[in-house]
Structure 1
């Protein structure tokens, strides 16, 4: 269990250099000790040791596809990458391919743009931004679990399992951002869709106990973050108003008492909120100029930001 101090500060702990093109995505392992990063336009994925700030092995490259999403298993032994028409499995730290890839016979679809791994590492969720379908796969057998989950208008842009793995949140980035909650075991949607996230969904995060889902709007001058009861699908209290141009990243502290928002104003701005009262509880911190992509560790204390200017990845620590 980790908490955020009453008067937090931010410290840059390292700059990771190795990418020559625009960084397209960054993903922490569940324990926060490994970071995967990919380039936006070419098949180049790199792994980093967060403690030593060094690259792990040579980059993983592909002449066929871009690595658009990635997930690391809870035991730290497997990397799963998603891109266009396939999801691939790699041994860690060797980065040797592990078993067969996941592919569908209809190669006109892009069902693996987004991948998410359940907390127990047994189920993989995949979807694409050009279709309305969502797939669940058994990681061990590489077989599909149950029926295809349909109806995600605007495609699948974000996937997130709850901490207990029983709920899957699915977001669309288009228009009045919609989030649907699915019961993983029954394959049934829980309640009505969660709507009202202006310009699409910017980020999602479950509270550590899984009872609340925080969802941000990707645009909008108020930087609204709505908090939803995952059992009833109703909104909890008033939204957080981060007063930024959207909120691109969210995190809960490990003890669940603080929500951290990261949005853009004149630069990247971190704000800290009391999870119970929804009131700002500390002075905002300005981080840097506009950077993407962004990822938090599970405890909300470490974050990684990609740079448009030099293709470096900055690691930051909240103290």
Structure 2
């Protein structure tokens, strides 16, 4: 059964991963939370880690073509896709090796693969980024059939300023697209089959979209902002209508968020000045327990899909935490 958070959640350090002296592009968990990927933005190195043992899985992955700026795991955790620059590539685990041909963008889409995400069943890959299209700063999102490596239908356009976040709904029928920090801070929700907008754009995320998470039943989309008081807003993705009041407990934006596996609560990690973990009732949006303080400033962080494992990077070290 899917798990929720304890009545009074606590944070336990699981372990630390060997030093990462370079700036990270990001951290990503596999769907079951058993594997963590970490990518160095400057060196282009991608490392895979076993979460339970904190041991590396195989040798670091390098590419002669691009830095790995995003990672998306397949549903069974045995393969993954990477995005960066002008291509998306596919890899088989545990010792990463290429898995079929890469995806390439049309010549005019310079950075069309900086964000990648896989549908829950692993059949569809969505890609986006701050692509310059014919000299205009208009980002494009593409949907690809993983098996045939071909684009599915038309390109999704109208994402002003760039695309930074992508999230499939739990059934894979919808795709949420979040604008970049430099962009309009708007989330657009698309119907995957028809490639048509599901609702009006979701607005009001100051400073750009931080993170997005669908509730396990797909009825709610939580969206965090980088600045402002109402730093997490809740939406009905089918109608574009706000659901309840925003979360206002974090004073300096929200870096990461996740729903509990049972969908009854969500956890948020503050950014900047206020760096605590807060736990919220998914229905009432009220705090469920006292915040859990975290002392360090994180340049990267990520939750597992069920919100029970947290990875943070600061001071050249990746730490893994259990929320229990």
Shorter-chain TM-score range: over 0.9
Aligned counterpart, 2:145? 138
Aligned counterpart, 1:294? 301
- Per-residue CA deviation, residues 106-141 of structure 1 (Å, 9 max, x unaligned), is 065211000000000000000112342110000010
CA distance in 1, matches of 2:105, 2:285: 44
Q: Please list every run of 5 or more consecutive structure 1 residues that lacks an aligned counterpart in the other structure.
A: none
Aligned counterpart, 1:270? 277
On the 8 A contact 2:199/2:237 being kept in 1, the answer is: no
On the 8 A contact 2:209/2:226 being kept in 1, the answer is: yes
1:228/1:9 CA distance change after superposition, 3 Å = same
On the 8 A contact 1:23/1:38 being kept in 2, the answer is: yes
Aligned counterpart, 2:261? 254
TM-score (norm 1): 0.96
Greater displacement, 72-81 / 190-199: 72-81
1:217/1:267 CA distance change after superposition, 3 Å = closer
Superposition map of 1:149-188 within 5 A: 149-173=156-180, 174-188=182-196
Determine whether 1:219 maps to 2:220: no
Determine whether 1:190 maps to 2:211: no
- Number of residues paired by the alignment? 316
Aligned counterpart, 2:318? 313
On the 8 A contact 1:261/1:272 being kept in 2, the answer is: yes
CA distance in 1, matches of 2:56, 2:179: 33
- The 3-state SS of whatever aligns with 2:45 is strand
1:100/1:85 CA distance change after superposition, 3 Å = same
Aligned counterpart, 1:205? 213
CA distance in 1, matches of 2:209, 2:291: 22
CA distance in 2, matches of 1:223, 1:178: 15
CA distance in 1, matches of 2:99, 2:251: 43
State the shift of 1:176 in Å: 4.5
State the shift of 1:18 in Å: 4.5
1:286/1:165 CA distance change after superposition, 3 Å = same
On the 8 A contact 1:223/1:263 being kept in 2, the answer is: no
Q: Please list every run of 5 or more consecutive structure 2 residues that lacks an aligned counterpart in the other structure.
A: 132-137
